[in-house]
């Protein structure tokens, strides 16, 4: 398929993808409209026009005009006079109610765990562009290290890296209990797989869960079993499963003691209540929570898998991102699309075609995050540019008859990776259409506009 035809198909598929707005025919340029408006205003000031005299009514009209005052006409059915503006020469804007701007959302994220478990190391790798070996220089966290991480422009992570020394933990659970555990969106608790005092670690974890459920019962809980690279590869899966089982057991024991149920238990209870043969039927519990575990290490891509999943649940407008990404993927006949955040290179969202789903490499998304993060750091090291700077605009890779791939700077805060079947015409057309589609992802740069407006302007 030729380049013009594929571009035309992309436009027809998404309806409003191309911007066809032009200045109206009355004014050839916006500047001409402005000059005409100003000249007419100056003339009106210098030579004000007198209102024309109204002729005296005669005949039947004179009879209807009496000295009795007439009630004013109802103006609700009439549209108010419209004042011309320079913006009118481009396109009609959204209604004021839809054009309101959302303030950046702040999500409070608690990062907790025993001292030395690796909390600050993973935070520095993900958000400060450290490489794994550089984290050895990091010291212990004193009290709370508070940082505001801007993510995608309209999401700010209020990240609380809490020191894990016993004195600090006791302070969090007593004097600072309300301050630390109020308004929490996510708790990330890190277990060191090398720890020799598992019972004490679990007791501290249960105390943290207790405070969290007291002040932020709707918070999501992620458990990271960290430093898995220190376990023999043949035993990693079994060691990880055993540790997760113990953590789930302790969590369930505490939850049941205070009347909370996990999501699985709540579903089971609902099934029992619907079963007439069930001997005991109890009213459903109002509280429910569960944990999401991950095995992580700073030396491989597992860290990116865990944090990408955490961030994925916090991203606002996620449904709009996924819908627009799916429309783009179908239009350019791609096998896979992957949207990265610019600084951390965490995968924000992805789309995969039926052909792409046959790929046997299940962890390819986090592998690409890890590869691109190291590629970006290598460019920074050899060019001398800051690690947080924009290191490249576009990267292409053509694997002969297997596939084509390119990664390009998409919006201000994102990169887009596109995997395509082989073919030069398809490759060039896809790159052109991705650049056109940027307009439909501008809300990622934030502050985000009202979703009703972005949904109306986005692809169908």
Write down the pLDDT at residue 54. Answer: 54
Asked whether 193 and 228 are in contact (CB, 8 A), the reply is yes
Edge-to-edge, what's the strand order for the sheet holding 414-420? 347-352, 336-341, 414-420, 404-409, 394-398
Whole-angstrom Cα distance, residue 205 to residue 199? 10
Bridge partners, residue 390, by sequence:
none
Q: pLDDT tier at 351 (50, 70, 90 boundaries)?
A: very high
Lowest mean pLDDT among 13-27, 112-126, 155-169, 352-366: 13-27
Does pLDDT of 376 surpass 90? no
Does pLDDT of 451 surpass 50? no
Q: How many CB atoms lie within 10 A of CB 230?
A: 12
Q: pLDDT tier at 396 (50, 70, 90 boundaries)?
A: very high
Fold of the domain spanning 105-312: Rossmann fold (3.40.50)
Across the chain, mean pLDDT equals 75
Does pLDDT of 367 surpass 80? yes
Q: How many CB atoms lie within 10 A of CB 451?
A: 16
If you average pLDDT over residues 287-305, what whole number do you get? Answer: 86
Lowest mean pLDDT among 130-134, 268-272, 357-361, 399-403: 268-272
Assigned token pair, 258: 């205070």
For residue 397, what are the CA distances in angstroms to 331, 403, 404, 418? 21, 9, 6, 10
Q: According to the per-residue pLDDT averaged within each range, which of 86-90, 112-116, 152-156, 377-381 is highest?
A: 112-116
Length in residues, the chain: 460
For the four alpha carbons of 11, 13, 14 and 20, in that order, the dihedral sign comes to positive
Write down the pLDDT at residue 141. Answer: 79
Higher per-residue confidence, 352 vs 33: 352
Q: pLDDT tier at 87 (50, 70, 90 boundaries)?
A: very low
Lowest mean pLDDT among 94-103, 227-236, 331-340, 356-365: 94-103
Bridge partners, residue 404, by sequence:
398, 420
Does pLDDT of 449 surpass 50? no
For the four alpha carbons of 365, 370, 373 and 378, in that order, the dihedral sign comes to negative
If you average pLDDT over residues 151-160, what whole number do you get? Answer: 81
Asked whether 425 and 1 are in contact (CB, 8 A), the reply is yes
If you average pLDDT over residues 118-133, what whole number do you get? Answer: 86
Q: Where are the alpha helices (DSSP H) in 258-387?
A: 263-274, 302-314, 318-331, 364-383
Write down the pLDDT at residue 447. Answer: 55
Whole-angstrom Cα distance, residue 99 to residue 91? 14
Q: How many helices and strands (H and E) does the chain possess?
A: 14, 11
Query: Is pTM, for the whole model, over 0.75?
Result: no
For residue 19, what are the CA distances in angstroms to 114, 127, 428, 440, 458? 54, 36, 20, 10, 12
Asked whether 353 and 329 are in contact (CB, 8 A), the reply is yes
Asked whether 410 and 153 are in contact (CB, 8 A), the reply is no
Q: How many CB atoms lie within 10 A of CB 458?
A: 20
Whole-angstrom Cα distance, residue 221 to residue 212? 9
Whole-angstrom Cα distance, residue 109 to residue 310? 10
Where do the domains of the chain lie? 105-312, 317-457
Write down the pLDDT at residue 64. Answer: 41
pLDDT in tens, 195-212: 888 999 999 999 999 999
Whole-angstrom Cα distance, residue 169 to residue 10? 56
If you average pLDDT over residues 281-294, what whole number do you get? Answer: 61
Q: For 317-457, which CATH class?
A: alpha beta
Does pLDDT of 74 surpass 80? no
Alpha carbons within 13 A on the beta-carbon side of 455:
8
Write down the pLDDT at residue 445. Answer: 73
Q: How many CB atoms lie within 10 A of CB 106?
A: 13
Lowest mean pLDDT among 39-43, 90-94, 392-396: 90-94
Higher per-residue confidence, 367 vs 11: 367
162 closest CA partner among 128, 119, 131: 119
Does pLDDT of 281 surpass 70? no
Give me the residue label for tokens 């991203």: 315
Please name the helix (run of DSSP H) or strand (run of DSSP E) that holds residue 181, with its range, or none. helix 177-181
Lowest mean pLDDT among 64-73, 81-90, 228-237, 411-420: 81-90
């Amino acid at each position: 398929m030729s380049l013009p035809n594929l571009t035309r198909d992309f436009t027809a598929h998404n309806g409003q993808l191309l911007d066809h707005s032009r200045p109206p025919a009355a004014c050839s340029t916006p500047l001409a409209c402005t000059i005409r408006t100003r000249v007419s205003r100056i003339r009106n000031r210098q030579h004000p026009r007198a209102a024309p005299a109204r002729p005296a009514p005669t005949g039947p009209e004179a009879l209807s005009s009496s000295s009795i005052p007439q009630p004013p006409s109802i103006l609700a059915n009439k549209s108010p006079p419209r004042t011309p503006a320079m913006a009118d020469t481009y396109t009609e804007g959204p209604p004021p109610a839809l054009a309101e701007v959302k303030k950046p959302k702040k999500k409070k994220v608690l990062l907790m765990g025993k001292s030395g478990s690796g909390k600050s190391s993973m935070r520095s790798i993900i958000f400060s562009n450290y490489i794994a070996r550089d984290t050895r220089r990091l010291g212990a966290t004193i009290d709370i290290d508070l940082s505001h991480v801007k993510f995608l422009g309209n999401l700010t992570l209020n990240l609380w890296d809490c020191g894990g020394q016993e004195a600090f933990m006791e302070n969090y659970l007593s004097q600072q209990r309300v301050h630390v555990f109020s308004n929490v969106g996510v708790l990330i608790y890190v277990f060191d797989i090398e720890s020799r005092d598992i019972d004490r670690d679990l007791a501290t974890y249960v105390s943290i869960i207790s405070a969290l459920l007291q002040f932020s019962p709707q918070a999501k809980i992620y458990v990271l079993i960290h430093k898995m690279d220190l376990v023999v590869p043949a035993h990693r899966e079994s060691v990880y499963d055993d540790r997760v089982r113990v953590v789930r057991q302790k969590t369930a024991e505490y939850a049941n003691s205070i009347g909370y149920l996990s999501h699985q238990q709540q579903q089971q209870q609902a099934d029992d209540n619907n079963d007439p043969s069930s001997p005991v039927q109890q009213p459903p519990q109002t509280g429910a929570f569960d944990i999401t575990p991950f095995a992580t290490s700073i030396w491989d891509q597992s860290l990116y898998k865990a944090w990408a999943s955490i961030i994925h649940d916090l991203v606002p407008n996620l449904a709009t991102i996924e819908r627009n990404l799916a429309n783009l993927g179908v239009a350019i006949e791609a096998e896979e699309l992957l949207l990265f955040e610019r600084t951390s290179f965490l995968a924000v969202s992805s789309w995969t075609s039926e052909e792409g789903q046959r790929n046997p490499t299940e962890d390819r998304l986090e592998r690409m995050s890890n590869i691109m993060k190291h590629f970006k750091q290598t460019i920074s090291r050899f060019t001398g540019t800051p690690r947080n700077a924009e290191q490249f605009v576009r990267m292409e890779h053509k694997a002969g008859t297997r596939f084509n791939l390119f990664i390009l700077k998409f919006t201000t805060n994102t990169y887009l990776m596109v995997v395509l079947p082989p073919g030069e015409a398809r490759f060039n057309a896809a790159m052109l259409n991705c650049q056109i589609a940027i307009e439909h992802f501008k809300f990622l740069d934030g502050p985000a506009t009202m979703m009703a407006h972005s949904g109306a302007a986005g692809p169908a």
